[in-house]
Amino acid sequence: MTPFSPQRRTLLRSLFSSSTLLMPGVLSELCAASDEPLNPHRPHTAGKAKRIIFIYATGGVSHIDTFDPKSMAKGRDGTGSDKLMGNIFGAQRNKRCGTEVSDIFPHVRNVMDEICLIRSMKASHFDHSEATLGMHTGSPTFARPSMGSWVSYGLGTFNQNLPSFVVIAPFLPYGGTQVYGSDFLPACHQGTRVIPGDNPIANLRPPGSTKDLQQMELGLVDQMNRRHFASRTHDTALAARIKSFETAFQMQQAAPEAFDVNSEPEHIRRLYGLDRKLKGAGSEFGWQCLVARRLAERGVRFIELIDTGSRPNWDSHGEMKDHAAIAYNVDQPIAALITDLKQRGMLDETIILWATEFGRTPGREGTNGRGHHRDCFSIWLAGGGFKPGHVHGATDELGKYPIEKPVEVHDLHATVLHQLGMDHEKLTFRHAGRDFRLTDVHGHVMDELLI
């Protein structure tokens, strides 16, 4: 093959000027929209929050052993069948707000005065995959866009050099890639997965290619792509694929800096526990939380952190003591994220949502485990205009059923969108002959959770 000579470079430069390379306005053509779909959009109302960090705990966290501790003696419930088992870890109250939390979350307990706790959450399904998709998309049974994709679609992003929706996940949760899929929304709103480690985004930097040569190559590809797209303007998957070249090129400069936690001061890295020896698959969670703060600072609209995805996860059928090791890995980093955002004046404009797919039974399963429990479990929110130190709802003495203010997944989604300035009934997308929304035909904003 003939070497790439200076004359050929000159010719290509004349044909494909660098001024056309990955034009900032090209996405308006690519996604067939009237304006740039990832530019910041005007919300329906003046929301309290600008961004969201969604921390997802895979496997079904036991509310009885964490944020709704129950101390009932071992025995049987009224049916005569379930062998009851109370919280095995002990619990104490936050000294400022009085919220009781298990001893496996001492750091999070210490910041409960910043947290709005919901103890009466109801799951959308009793199986992992369906309940996980319900929490992420509002639909446990049909493919639907994820909450992150809806937020990206509704609000856009502040930084065109980074994706609007980033998912930091060492392993995928139940439900797989659908938890961050865009489904029928334009594909440019799909989440971008990042894997913790030395190379969080694979192949970000091309091997053996200079910047000038890469610009020339991408300019040629861009021209060909645009010509190909001209006769396929409604193909959003193709549009997103072409857009990915633009985003990847921009991310070559922005992403390495955003993921470089070594540039943080020593006291910040210690705050997140990056100086500790952690255990198992969750050993990188401090890195995940610190990167989430850095991405939030840099204008990423929706950031999801999945604390683990492979076993051992929170699905403790055989032994509840497994909860302790996982909690140890995530407790300090989560509390650090809340503290760090508050110190930087960012917490008021950032929603932190911690959730799992369902709770676990008050009755013992196996030796000392618990089964799946959809009727009630605990989640919490911090920042973004949610009431700090507040507890919403309650469960019975066994932790089996909600007895006050039950909350559906659609209510949660409607309230989060509201705090971001979006009316869940107006955030719609026309597909297959009707208007779809994250909350389907359900959901109401829970004003009692809000400042």
Number of domains in the chain: 2
Whether 413 and 424 share a structural domain: yes
Whether 265 maps to a domain, the answer reads no
Encode pLDDT of 376-399 as tens digits: 999 999 999 999 999 999 999 999
Whether 334 maps to a domain, the answer reads yes
55 contacts 173 by C-beta, under 8 angstroms: no
Encode pLDDT of 175-233 as tens digits: 999 999 999 999 889 999 999 877 787 666 666 666 677 677 767 777 787 788 788 77
DSSP 8-class letter at 447: G
Encode pLDDT of 23-33 as tens digits: 333 333 344 34
**Angle 110-308-291 (CA atoms, 0-180°, nearest 5)?**
65
Whether 191 and 212 share a structural domain: no
Stronger pLDDT, 252 or 20, i.e. the higher one: 252
Torsion of CA 335, 336, 342, 346, to 10 degrees: -110
Whether 395 and 246 share a structural domain: no
Confidence of residue 80 (pLDDT cuts 50, 70, 90): low
Q: How confident is the model at residue 197, as a pLDDT?
A: 77
Whether 124 and 151 share a structural domain: yes
Mean pLDDT, rounded, for 273-301: 83
Q: How confident is the model at residue 81, as a pLDDT?
A: 56
Whether 385 maps to a domain, the answer reads yes
Whether 228 and 283 share a structural domain: no
**Domain residue limits at 122:** 39-200+278-449
Q: How confident is the model at residue 208, as a pLDDT?
A: 60
Q: How confident is the model at residue 6, as a pLDDT?
A: 43
Mean pLDDT, rounded, for 409-413: 98
Residue type, 445: V
Per-position DSSP letters for 302-371, written without gaps between them: EEEEE---SSSSS--SSBTTHHHHHHHHHHHHHHHHHHHHHHTT-GGGEEEEEEES-EEEEEEETTBEEE
DSSP 8-class letter at 238: H
The answer to which of 80-94, 280-294, 340-354, 386-400 has the lowest mean pLDDT is 280-294
Whether 286 and 407 share a structural domain: yes
What is the spatial distance between Cα 273 and Cα 256, in angstroms, rounded to a whole number?
A: 21
Location of structure tokens 């109401």: 444
Q: How confident is the model at residue 205, as a pLDDT?
A: 63
Whether 403 and 436 share a structural domain: yes
Whether 302 and 241 share a structural domain: no
Question: Quick one: which of 398, 402, 373, 394 has its CA closest to 73?
Answer: 398
Asked if omega into 207 is within 30° of 0 (cis), the reply is no
Q: How confident is the model at residue 26, as a pLDDT?
A: 39
Q: How confident is the model at residue 112, as a pLDDT?
A: 98
Mean pLDDT, rounded, for 317-339: 95
Q: List helix spans (H) across 75-160.
A: 106-110, 128-137, 147-155
pTM of the model: 0.86
> What is the share, in percent, of the chain residues with pLDDT greater than 70?
81
Whether 405 maps to a domain, the answer reads yes
Question: Quick one: which of 346, 333, 329 has its CA closest to 261?
Answer: 333
Whether 427 and 337 share a structural domain: yes
Whether 153 and 122 share a structural domain: yes
Whether 226 and 282 share a structural domain: no
Whether 313 and 238 share a structural domain: no
